Amino acid sequence: MLWIKTFHVLFVISWFAGLFYLPRIYVNLAQHNSPDTHTRLIGMAGRLFRFMTILAIPAVVLGLWLYLGYGLGRGQGWMHAKLGLVVLLLAYHGVCYRYLQLFQQNRNSHSEKFYRWFNEIPVLLLTLVLIMVFIRPF
């Protein structure tokens, strides 16, 4: 079980690296850079999104393995809250994909300030997940 936990945490950390950085690329894209810079940033964003999706899959699968296979936290309030937060993270991941599509189609309607705030969402969600896992407030 310790191996599963180790790899779960490894993939979660790696996935979050992408969740933290991708919206930062969106900030730069929203600043209306030159066409060459725009093309380069779109390429970076697309590759990063694919990579972070590849990392998210084992993070979620291993987390479910721990939950279903070993019953870790099953029936406890903190685990239900954590699972809800994970659903929100998956939704955030999906919204990141939607924004990437809009940038690729030159249809972005949000400002760089919006993306700076959007970039704070995974920080907040990660903080709440860590509180649920380590403090287990309920």
Taking only the tens place, the pLDDT of each residue in 40-79 is 999 999 999 999 999 999 999 999 999 998 877 778 999 9
Q: Would you state the pLDDT for residue 30?
A: 97
Location of structure tokens 């894209």: 29
- The number of folded domains in the chain is 1
As a whole number, the mean pLDDT across the chain is: 95
Q: Would you state the pLDDT for residue 71?
A: 79
Q: Is 8 annotated as a binding residue?
A: yes
User: Residue 110 sits in which domain range?
Assistant: 2-135
Q: State pLDDT tens for residues 97-113.
A: 999 999 999 999 999 99
DSSP state of 116: H
Q: Is 32 annotated as a binding residue?
A: no
Residue 112, helix vs strand vs coil: helix
